[in-house]
Every structure is written in structure tokens, then in C-alpha cells.
Amino acid sequence: KNQVEQSPQSLIILEGKNCTLQCNYTVSPFSNLRWYKQDTGRGPVSLTIMTFSENTKSNGRYTATLDADTKQSSLHITASQLSDSASYICVVSPYNFNKFYFGSGTKLNVKP
Amino acid sequence: DADVTQTPRNRITKTGKRIMLECSQTKGHDRMYWYRQDPGLGLRLIYYSFDVKDINKGEISDGYSVSRQAQAKFSLSLESAIPNQTALYFCATSDSGGGFQPQHFGDGTRLSIL
């Protein structure tokens, strides 16, 4: 069964600290993995997209890593800011591009 | 102005009513999608359209229908709303570039069915 699981469900960190969010998937055959940021009351916004041949991709203070062998990805946030408070969603696509498997997200709260 | 606009943003209605949610985009994308988001669950695909003449069911299409009126417009209808259709609904678009293009989401419609 194709699944995407994210951990932790929620996380509280202090402003300026780093954090890492995890995504494990069983989707096969794998094509690409995406990370989205969803602010409260808004739609998700794309942060990164990685194919099976990419190990890491950065977007400013956000760095995503991918290990296609172990079917794991992480999103590392450096020097967190209050504006990073949001839900972060991992999405995996198989070679059938009509499908997107969404994780349930990690809710990050950055406190001053 | 937003690239992907959903109307209404909020709607409260009663069981049995017919409801239409509308989505319009200015991005010029061929592909459009409707999702629903429930607390604690990932987004689930209701319907998707790769062009005006191509409409496909997603994983949870029962109880829903769609219409692609133009490249820029994709509407979702609930013919006879029921309480378990209470959810946050998102429209998304993407370019047709080989499946590696990001999806661009609207800000959602919060639908409550009493």
C-alpha cells in the first residue's frame, strides 16, 4: 500500500534554533518527492521537488534530503524564524504522474 | 491578485443542498485539481483535469462532480451535500512539464454542512 508518513506530528522550537522534519514513504515505483509549506488559512506552497537521482536540494533556509534506497526524506530548517510557523507537508509521486500521495503534515510552532 | 482564486472562502449549508465551489487561475496552466483536507489526514484528490476535454476521477470522487468550463476555470459540485463532506477544499494547478512541476494551490474553501 502506498503511504507517506511524517514525524513528528507537531514540534515546538525557539526562534533561531534549527529543526529537522522526517518523511518516510512506501510509494513505488518512486518518481519524485515534494515538500510544501502550509500557513494557517492558506494553501500549500512548494518548497522543493526532488527526483530519485537527487540527494539534497535547498531553498533558502530550507534544505531537503532524500535517500531513495531507504525511502526517507528530511526537511531541515536553519535558524528558524517566527514566520516558519506552519504545517510542512511531504508529497510523493510514483511514475504515474496522475497520483500524489500526501503525508498528514508536521505542524511547526516557532516561539520567540 | 492571487494566481489561483477560490470562491467562496467559507460556506455553511444544510444537508441535501446543492453546492458549487469555483476555482479560477491566471497562471495559464493546463492541469487543474480538486482536493479535500480533513484534520489529521493528508490532502486527498477528488478530481483532476489535464485539459478542457480531459476530466478524471481521483481517489474520493463519490458524491462530487466537476466541470471544466475553460482552461482557467474548474468548478466542483456537491449534488446533495452530506455532513461528512464538511472539510477544507483546495483547488490546485500545475504546468504540464513532465510531472515534475510544482502544484500551485488556492487558499481553500472551508465548507460546513449541517
Q: Say whether the peptide bond before residue A8 is cis (omega within 30 degrees of 0).
A: yes
For residue B67, what are the β-bridge partners? Answer: B75
Report the gap between the CA of B18 and the closest CA in chain A (Å): 25
Beta strands in A4-84 (DSSP E): 4-7, 10-14, 19-25, 30-38, 45-51, 56-59, 62-67, 72-77
pLDDT of residue B101: 82
Question: Given CB atoms, is B46 within the 8 Å cutoff of chain A?
Answer: no
Question: Given CB atoms, is B107 within the 8 Å cutoff of chain A?
Answer: yes
Phi and psi, residue A84, nearest 5°: -80, -10
CB A82, CB A15: distance < 8 Å: yes
Give the one of B41, B92, B99 whose C-beta lies nearest to A93's C-beta.
Answer: B99
Lowest mean pLDDT among A8-12, B2-6, B75-79, B86-90: B2-6
Share of chain B above pLDDT 90, in %: 85
Q: Do B41 and A41 touch (CB under 8 A)?
A: no
Closest-CA residue of B relative to A90 is: B42
Gap between the Cα atoms of B81 and A100, Å rounded: 26
Question: Given CB atoms, is B106 within the 8 Å cutoff of chain A?
Answer: yes
pLDDT of residue A2: 79
Closest-CA residue of B relative to A88 is: B42
**pLDDT tens per residue, range B17-56:** 999 999 999 999 999 999 999 988 889 999 999 999 999 9
Instruction: Find the helix or strand (DSSP H, E) in which B105 lies.
Output: strand B104-105
Measure Cα distances from A57 to A50, A97, B85 in Å. 7, 21, 37
Q: Do B56 and A46 touch (CB under 8 A)?
A: no
Answer yes or no: is pLDDT of B90 > 80: yes
What is the DSSP-derived secondary structure letter of residue B85? Answer: G
Answer yes or no: is pLDDT of B65 > 90: yes
Q: What is the pLDDT along chain A (112 residues), one digit of tens a residue?
A: 779 999 999 999 999 999 999 999 998 888 899 999 999 989 999 999 998 889 999 999 999 999 999 999 999 999 999 999 999 999 998 876 667 899 999 999 999 9
Answer yes or no: is pLDDT of B78 > 90: yes
